[in-house]
Amino acid sequence: MKAELNHLGIIMDGNGRWAARRGLPRSLGHKAGIAAAKRIVESAHRRGIAYLTLYAFSADNWSRDRREVDAIFRLVDGYLTDELRTLAAHGVRVQVIGRRDRLPDRTRRVIERAEKVTQAGEAMLLRLAIDYSSRDALVAAAAALVRMQPPESVIDRELFFERLNGAINSSRVPDIDLVIRTSGEQRLSDFCLWECAYAELFFTPVLWPDFDDVALAEALAAFGNRQRRFGSAAATGQAIGVAS
């Protein structure tokens, strides 16, 4: 029996370059990126992917021009507001991972409402990584363990993962099976380093605003042809199957 892809992570990259190639403001690139995110969420849902994590805004993105940052958050607010009923109706549960203390007040309110309205969703968990840093989350998890009582408690992977989830406001999720990064860059950029320990990596030159169902199908087909070993000498099972 073929295993199926369970958790997909996407590093959505290339909005600015997409806009620059067209002589447009970067904000319009991010607007096109939101449209691409909407398409891919719908496609992943149709394909039966249970967990989808989208890297929307890293902790390092705060260094960008303030007007660009403000535009990104307005677009995130708009997406979560405009798509909320549709997501809830299709059983998509929204969860935002990362820090929240630095987010605009409006964005925090929109996130809280989206999570509340969709909390009963069971078809797919959509995780949006916003003000997210995997390194910061790992440090926060370690600090939580240092403060843990009683101090003689055994620290293992399970306990660490529990604290890591607490650090990023996440429920427990399975490891990421496949990471897709768009725009031709070939690095993880501080994205879910713990959860990606055995993830397959797929890099595409397609800029994120142009990423569509065809491009997703290509990535999933490549994943389906790989043999996953998880450290063993031989591949476990047969080639990985993905719902089409």
Residue 153 maps to a domain = no
Q: What is the pLDDT of residue 120?
A: 97
Q: What is the pLDDT of residue 234?
A: 59
Can you give the CATH number for the domain in which 78 is found? Answer: 3.40.1180.10
Total domains present in the chain: 1
Residue 238 maps to a domain = no
Element (H, E) at 125: strand 124-132
Residue 148 maps to a domain = no
Residue 98 maps to a domain = yes
Q: What is the pLDDT of residue 152?
A: 67
Q: Where are the alpha helices (DSSP H) in 118-239?
A: 134-146, 157-167, 213-224
Closest CA to 177 of 54, 2, 1, 8: 8
Q: Which long-range contacts (CB under 8 A, 24 or more apart) does 186-192 make?
A: 188/11, 189/11, 189/55, 189/58, 190/58, 190/59, 190/60, 190/132, 190/133, 190/134, 190/135, 191/9, 191/11, 191/55, 191/58, 191/129, 191/132, 191/134, 192/9, 192/53, 192/129, 192/134
Q: What is the pLDDT of residue 235?
A: 56
Residue 241 maps to a domain = no
User: With a threshold of 0.75, does the pTM exceed it?
Assistant: yes
Residues with catalytic roles: 13, 61
| Domain around 184 | 7-132+176-224
Q: What is the pLDDT of residue 239?
A: 40
> Residues in the chain with pLDDT < 70?
1-3, 151-152, 232-244
